[in-house]
């Protein structure tokens, strides 16, 4: 589904990512792991075309998306839940969700999709008229995921969805992601909560200083203390 080859990217003359190659098959849930400043957020922002690349190529469902604008990437079927959620705090839950349903064909499906989101996160239905800025952190994360789903993605990219959340909300969020995965949605998960990530993904790529240090099955990484210590700092 997604094929990334030889990606090099950074900010100005500072190269943050070096020769990154990875693949995500349709229906997979894949983890992107690593310590702080390993380049994880930069990588997912490259996939969404939010920052420019120095070189490399990216194909999604066989189509080269390397030169597309961010809104065109969304229209292709890739939606990102950014770190920090980045909601519109002065808009209601309903209005934030509707903002996610503007791209292309998604507009015609907004009414149906918002019902689906409310089914996935009933708490959002209860708070649909509440301002996003007054929600708890867990509720805001639900809203950020719901907004991303409004565009009807085939690949959902999440950047640190458990950051700052209570264990109860982390469980709720990952139960929702598991349900989405069972329904066939492909997921790329950036996550620093290593125990949670390794329990919920099928394969992992571990970044270290802007390079892929190791990749493989999550099950293997979870049960290999040497790998965890060497590459995950845990």
Residue 228: pLDDT over 70: no
The reply to whether 62 falls in a domain is no
208 pairs with which residues across the strands? 211
| The overall pTM is greater than 0.85 | yes
Domain around 185: 26-44+68-200+219-232
The reply to whether 196 falls in a domain is yes
Total structural domains within the chain: 1
81 pairs with which residues across the strands? 158
CATH of the domain at 33: 3.40.50.300
The reply to whether 98 falls in a domain is yes
CA pair distance 153, 74, nearest whole angstrom: 8
CA pair distance 139, 136, nearest whole angstrom: 5
pLDDT per residue as tens digits for the range 108-120: 788 899 999 999 9
What mean pLDDT do residues 221-227 have?
A: 71
The reply to whether 17 falls in a domain is no
Residue 155: pLDDT over 70: yes
């Amino acid at each position: 589904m997604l094929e990334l080859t030889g990606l090099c990217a950074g900010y100005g003359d500072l190269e943050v990512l070096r020769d990154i190659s990875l693949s995500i098959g349709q229906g997979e849930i894949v983890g992107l792991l690593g310590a702080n400043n390993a380049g994880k957020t930069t990588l997912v922002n490259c996939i969404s075309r939010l920052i420019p690349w120095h070189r490399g190529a990216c194909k999604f469902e066989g189509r080269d998306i390397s030169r597309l604008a961010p809104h065109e990437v969304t229209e292709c079927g890739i939606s990102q839940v950014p770190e920090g959620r980045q909601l519109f705090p002065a808009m209601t839950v309903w209005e934030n969700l509707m903002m996610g349903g503007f791209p292309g064909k998604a507009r015609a499906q907004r009414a149906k999709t918002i019902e689906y989101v409310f089914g996935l996160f009933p708490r959002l239905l209860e708070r649909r008229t509440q301002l996003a800025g007054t929600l708890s952190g867990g509720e805001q994360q639900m809203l950020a995921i719901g907004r991303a789903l409004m565009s009807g993605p085939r690949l959902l990219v999440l950047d640190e969805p458990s950051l700052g959340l209570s264990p109860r909300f982390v469980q709720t969020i990952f139960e929702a992601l598991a349900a989405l995965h069972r329904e066939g949605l492909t997921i790329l998960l950036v996550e620093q909560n290593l125990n949670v990530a390794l329990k919920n993904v099928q394969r992992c790529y571990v970044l270290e200083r802007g390079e892929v240090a190791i990749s493989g099955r999550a099950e293997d990484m979870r049960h290999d203390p040497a790998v965890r210590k060497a590459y995950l700092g845990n």
